[in-house]
Amino acid sequence: MLNFDWLAGVSADTAKYIFYILFLLIAILVLLIPNSYIFLGLPQDQRHWWKNLKLWSILVLMCLAMVYYIF
Amino acid sequence: MLTGIDYFVVVAYLLGILILGFYFKRYVGSTEDYFLGGKSLPFWAIAMSIVVSDIGAMDFVGVSGQAYRYGISVGNFDWIGSVPAMLLAAFIFVPYFWRAGLYTIPEYLGRRYNRHVRTLASLTWILFFAVNLGVLFWASAALLNVLMGWPIWTSIFVTAGVVGLYTYFGGITAVVMTDVVQFIIMFVGGLALVFLSFHAVGGWDALVEKIYAKGPEYANHFNLIQPSTTSTPFPWTGILFGLTFVMANAYMIGNQSIVQRCLTAKDEWNAKASMILGAGLKMLIPVLVLFPGLIAIVLHPELEDGDQAFPLMIKSILPPGLIGLMFAAFFAGLMSSVDSCLNSTATLFTKDIYEPFFKKDATDQHYLKVGRMTTIVLLITGVLTAPLSDFFPGIYVAIQTFLSFFQGPVFAILLLGIFWPGATSMGGLFGLVIGIGFATTLNIFQSSIFTIQDPFLYVSWWSFVLAFVICIVVSLFTKKYKLEELDGLVFRKISSSPNTP
């Protein structure tokens, strides 16, 4: 059990889909965070769309998914 | 091996770093300035500092060597092994740590659980950083000796002198801002090698074609996801459970030298943004350290030891001037690791050990002096103990293994501490101690328990699981905290502390 023998039947291709699902799950969780929490610390007049950290996170996750798609 | 222009590049770099680091002395007037940069630093500087601290001089060689042996799957450590953990840290942990006005991670554990947990976690990190410092000095200097022909003690004294001066006077502000320059030097030097290496091998398509043509043992060299039955240390099960779920989170959330940088942010948004930008930048690291190892398979196919790949690539690919820049990049890697060790250990000792156990209620200037003295004592100890590594060649691996004993259990109690108000003082202590004991046992009997080489990913996962379960079980039967005692320490119980804007 400690060697994860019970997952030996899962192929590397299927494992890749598990990784994609993880990325998607993280992206959904990030999108669910309220904007008020994302911008906490910034004054109201500086809360521009490009400072929305959800966008930054989604961009990073898309790059990550692309790397796993290519390799 | 170095020419005149190479020496010029290296000396200019060292002098520049020294002057820059020394400049920040003027901003240090209190312990908050020294340990937390006066909570004034911007996200972009912290992000670069996080990335550059994570990669040392030896990582260039070690990761290239693993890429030479196992292929691209070693890149998992900087991709899936960093990005999800850094996002979790950015949105959940860092804002709470920043808002609580913490200096150290053990300080959070102390507030959330008890002072025994705080002291145990702090002493563990202090011991790790202190021993690691000497090893870091020696191993990196030995590497620079092989690569560039510099005498070992010259490299050690130059590094200790430059880093010691700016860390002693400028504190973490100097550490972070010099890291920004080190980041740029490292990327310029590293990218120059990658670009010229690709040119030498005929481009990406030629590289892939030539490696696949070497035979079936190279069939998985361009697959990030390795089957669970692989004999390499990177089966997908280990990458997902051990690395992504435990080790990466433990490193990004429980490592003092990483989190302390986020605590220097000027506001909560900058603290979060630093981690997210850091995640983006970290994705570029494999380009620097992994591709030279892959290209060496084609250009230097007969190497007995993969760790020779990177030094050989430098010697065979880079022209004069760029060798000096690469040498500066090695120094940058070494110095960023040493300054992190020094400042983090000084913070841990001053705040978690000296203040509660030796002298409570002293003036802030007294603690500032203690922080600076700790930095100097550590530096001298690191230099003096550096040659010990020569007598114990396996010490570097031993230290990394020692650290891996703590990663899973510490992350388990951090996770429960922030998400579950029911986690109790005794639950945290038992979870930590039993989890560490279990990880140690698994390591001792690893050859009879595990089937993969170097099963640290599996050890981390299973010790995390056990510590998690023990903490829950013990917490269910021991005295709970009142909800008001957990204000600001548990997710969704936000404190209106003075740090909240």
From the list B83, B87, B227, the residue facing A12 with the nearest CB is: B227
pLDDT of residue B3: 79
* Chain A nearest-CA residue for B237: A4
In this structure, are residues B49 and B179 in contact, taking their beta carbons and an 8 Å threshold? yes
Distance CA B243, CA B222 (A): 20
Question: Would you call B41 helix, strand, or coil by DSSP?
Answer: strand
**ipTM rounded to 2 decimals:** 0.95
Higher-confidence residue of A37 and B144: namely: A37
CA distance B452 to chain A (A): 8
Read off the pLDDT of residues B437-447 as tens digits, 9 standing for 90 and up: 999 898 888 78
Read off the pLDDT of residues A56-67 as tens digits, 9 standing for 90 and up: 999 999 999 999
Please calculate the CA angle B476-B480-B484 and round it to the nearest 5 degrees. Answer: 145
Read off the pLDDT of residues B406-421 as tens digits, 9 standing for 90 and up: 889 989 999 999 899 9
* Chain A nearest-CA residue for B268: A41
From the list A23, A37, A71, the residue facing B223 with the nearest CB is: A71
| Least trusted range by pLDDT, from B62-71, B275-284, B364-373, B387-396 | B387-396
- For CA atoms B492, B493, B496, B500, give the dihedral sign: negative
From the list A2, A30, A41, the residue facing B267 with the nearest CB is: A41
In this structure, are residues A19 and B240 in contact, taking their beta carbons and an 8 Å threshold? yes
Q: Which amino acid is at A45?
A: D
Q: Left, alpha or beta for A4 (phi > 0: left; psi -120 to 50: alpha)?
A: left
- Please answer yes or no on whether B90 and A53 come within 8 Å at the CB atom: yes
- Tokens 């790949």: give the residue: B309
Higher-confidence residue of B401 and B376: namely: B376
pLDDT of residue B218: 87
- Please answer yes or no on whether B228 and A39 come within 8 Å at the CB atom: no
- For CA atoms B199, B202, B208, B214, give the dihedral sign: negative
Tokens at A42, concatenated: 């910034």
Distance CA B142, CA B137 (A): 8
Distance CA B459, CA B438 (A): 9
Mutate to test the interface with A, among B43, B46, B74, B87 (most CBs of A within 10 A): B87
Percent share of chain A, pLDDT over 70: 100
Distance CA B301, CA B298 (A): 6
Percent share of chain B, pLDDT over 90: 45
Tokens at B397, concatenated: 């691996």
In this structure, are residues B468 and B431 in contact, taking their beta carbons and an 8 Å threshold? yes
Distance CA B37, CA B25 (A): 11
* Chain B nearest-CA residue for A60: B280
From the list B223, B270, B450, the residue facing A2 with the nearest CB is: B450
Read off the pLDDT of residues B182-223 as tens digits, 9 standing for 90 and up: 899 888 888 999 999 999 999 999 999 999 998 888 888 899
- Please answer yes or no on whether B280 and A40 come within 8 Å at the CB atom: no
- Please answer yes or no on whether B227 and A18 come within 8 Å at the CB atom: no
Cβ neighbours, 10 Å, residue B273: 25
B95: chain A residues, CB-CB within 8 Å: 40
- Please answer yes or no on whether A71 and B462 come within 8 Å at the CB atom: no
* Chain A nearest-CA residue for B273: A53
Read off the pLDDT of residues A34-46 as tens digits, 9 standing for 90 and up: 999 999 989 999 9
CA distance B386 to chain A (A): 37
Cβ pairs A/B, distance under 8 A? 110
CA distance A30 to chain B (A): 8
Distance CA B243, CA B452 (A): 15
**Closest C-alpha among A70, A31, A21 to residue B224:** A70
From the list B80, B87, B229, the residue facing A8 with the nearest CB is: B229
B228: chain A residues, CB-CB within 8 Å: 4, 7-8, 10, 15
The stretch B227-253 carries a mean pLDDT of 87
Q: Where are the alpha helices (DSSP H) in B255-321?
A: 256-262, 268-282, 285-289, 291-299, 309-317
Q: Which amino acid is at B350?
A: T
Question: pLDDT band at B238, cuts 50/70/90?
Answer: confident
pLDDT at B499 over 50: no
- Tokens 């200096």: give the residue: B103
From the list B228, B267, B276, the residue facing A7 with the nearest CB is: B228
Q: Which amino acid is at B464?
A: F
Tokens at B210, concatenated: 């030539």
B229: chain A residues, CB-CB within 8 Å: 8
- For CA atoms B389, B395, B397, B402, give the dihedral sign: negative
Cβ neighbours, 10 Å, residue B166: 26
* Chain A nearest-CA residue for B220: A71
- Please answer yes or no on whether B269 and A41 come within 8 Å at the CB atom: yes
Distance CA B97, CA B107 (A): 10
